[in-house]
Amino acid sequence: MLINLIRVYLVCVVARAEVIRISKIWEYLQKPGEHLHVNRRTTAHRILDLGYPCEEHEVHTEDGYILTIFRITNSPIELESSPRANKPKVFLQHPLFGTSDTWILNGPQHSLPFLLADRGYDVWLGNSRGNLYGRKHRNLTIHDTDFWRFSWHEIGYYDMASMLDYVIKNETINSKQRSLHFIGHSQGTTASMVLLSLRTEYQQLLRIVHLMAPAVYLDNTEDRLLQALSSYLGYHNLLSQQFSHQEFIPHNELFNILLYTACQQDLIWQGFCSPMAFMMEGSLRNKNLTALQICLETHPGGVSTNQLLHFMQVKHSSKFRQFDFGSHENRLRYNQRHPPEYPLEMIDVPLHIWYGEGDRTVNPIDIRRLAATISDVQLHRVPDRNWSHGDFIISRNVREYVYEPLIDILDEYEANT
C-alpha cells in the first residue's frame, strides 16, 4: 500500500529513456491539454460516456465538509427488459487513495456499479473528505491545516452517516426504500465499522453489509512500509506530530499526466508500471491494464496523513481503536489515557466478508480475528490463492469470483423480503 506510493516517485525520477519509447511520450507531453482534460472529467462524465445515466448530488456533513456523490439510476440493459419497480438501494464506499472513480475503472462489463444497475439496483457511489470530490468546506479551504485534521474515524462517524442519511431520504418514484445495502473496500470498510459500532442507530438502515478486504486488524500485515514505520509513527510522539494534519501526496495533474502517459498500453513495461499501481497492490498478474491506465489519470485521489497515522496506530497497538492524540489530549477527549477500542461487538447486522489468501495488506489471519468479534458474519474466500488487495477492484476475474456471487446474495435477500 504505502511502499508502492514511494516507489511511484522514485521510479519517475530514475526511469531511463530506453525503458519507454521516449519519442511517444514526448509527443504526448507536447500536447498536455489532451491529457489534462482526463483529470477534469468527473465520475458522472465517465459513467455517461459508457451509456449509463448518472446524477450528481452534494452532501453536507455535520462538521462542515461538502461531499459530491454520484448515482446510477438505471441501465440501458435493464431498460430493454422490464425495469424493476421500487429499486433496492446499494451504497458503495471506496478504499484509501480512492474516489468514486475507483469503482468504475474496469468498464461496464466488469465494474460492480454497472453490474448492479444492470440487475435493477439503485446505485450510489460515495466519496470521503479530502479526495477529489471532498475538497470543500463551509468555512475552510484545502490550504488550511484544520481542513486536514481528520482520519478515517471522522470519515466513518460523519461522512458515512451524512451520505447514508442523504441516500435514504432521497426518494423517487422508482426507489422509495428506507434501508439499503452497503458495499465497501479496504478503508471503505474501516469507516463502516466506525459508524456501525459507535452510532448503532445506523444499523437499522442497512440490509446487508459486504466488506471486501476489510482493513480493521493489521497485526499480520505484510505491507513493508506499514511494518517499518508503525514502530516510529504508530503512537503519539514528536515525529508523528510533524507528519499529522496535512495532505499526503497532494493531487498534481502533471504527475498524473506522466503516469498516464507512461502506462499507455502500447508503452507498457511491467517494471515501470507495476509499482505505479499503488492502490492495486501486488503484481500486474490478472490486472486489467486498461483499467490501470484509467486509474492513473486521477489517483491518488487525496488523503490526510492522519488516515495513514491511524492505520499505523492500529498496527502498532494491535487494537482497532480511536485515534491516539497523546495521553494529555486523550484524557480531554476520551477521559482516559489511551484511546478506546471500537465496540465491534455492538454490530448486529448481516455481514459478508470477502478476502483473498494473497492479500499482503490485510492478512487472512486478521480477517478471521475480525469475523470472531461479530455475531452475524459469513466469510467468502476468493478461489484464487494469489488474490491480492487491489484485485477486488481491477482484476480481470473479479466479476466471476466476487461480483456475481455478491449480487446473487443481494438478489436472494430481496426475493425473500
pLDDT in tens, 9-24: 334 433 333 343 444 5
Rounded Cα gap, residues 47 and 306, in angstroms: 31
**350-365 tens-digit pLDDT:** 999 999 999 999 999 9
**402-417 tens-digit pLDDT:** 999 999 999 999 999 8
Domain interval for residue 67: 43-416
Whether residue 6 lies inside any domain: the answer is: no
Which alpha helices (DSSP H) does 15-133 contain, by range? Answer: 22-29, 33-40, 43-49, 76-80, 112-118
For the question of residue 389 being annotated catalytic, the response is: yes
% of the chain residues with pLDDT over 90: 66
pLDDT at 177: 76
**Directed axis angle between helix 2-14 and helix 253-262, to 10°?**
80
Whether residue 84 lies inside any domain: the answer is: yes
The residues, ordered by sequence, that sit 6+ positions from 30 with a Cβ below 8 Å of its Cβ are none
Rounded Cα gap, residues 223 and 102, in angstroms: 21
The total number of structural domains that make up the chain: 1
Say whether pLDDT at 164 is over 90: yes
For the question of residue 318 being annotated catalytic, the response is: no
Whether residue 20 lies inside any domain: the answer is: no
Whether residue 26 lies inside any domain: the answer is: no
| Burial bucket for residue 299 (CB in 10 Å: 0-12, 13-18, 19+) | buried
Catalytic-labelled residue, pool 35, 137, 389, 395: 389
CATH number at residue 136: 3.40.50.1820
Q: Name the region of 394 (left: φ>0; alpha: ψ -120 to 50; beta: rest).
A: alpha
pLDDT at 31: 55
Reference 204, options 174, 164, 239; nearest CA is: 164
Rounded Cα gap, residues 48 and 412, in angstroms: 29
Q: Is the peptide bond before 88 cis (omega within 30 degrees of 0)?
A: no
Summarize the confidence of residues 50-60 as an average pLDDT: 96
Whether residue 11 lies inside any domain: the answer is: no
**103-139 tens-digit pLDDT:** 998 889 999 999 999 999 999 999 999 999 999 999 9
pLDDT at 15: 38
- At residue 114, the 3 state secondary structure works out as helix
Summarize the confidence of residues 312-336 as an average pLDDT: 97
Give all strands (DSSP E) within 79-133, no chain letters.
89-93, 122-125
Rounded Cα gap, residues 19 and 264, in angstroms: 13
Summarize the confidence of residues 311-337 as an average pLDDT: 97
Catalytic-labelled residue, pool 151, 162, 186, 230: 186
Q: What is the pTM of this model?
A: 0.85
**268-316 tens-digit pLDDT:** 444 445 444 444 455 556 655 566 666 666 667 889 999 999 999 999 9
Q: How many helices (H) and strands (E) does the chain have?
A: 20, 11
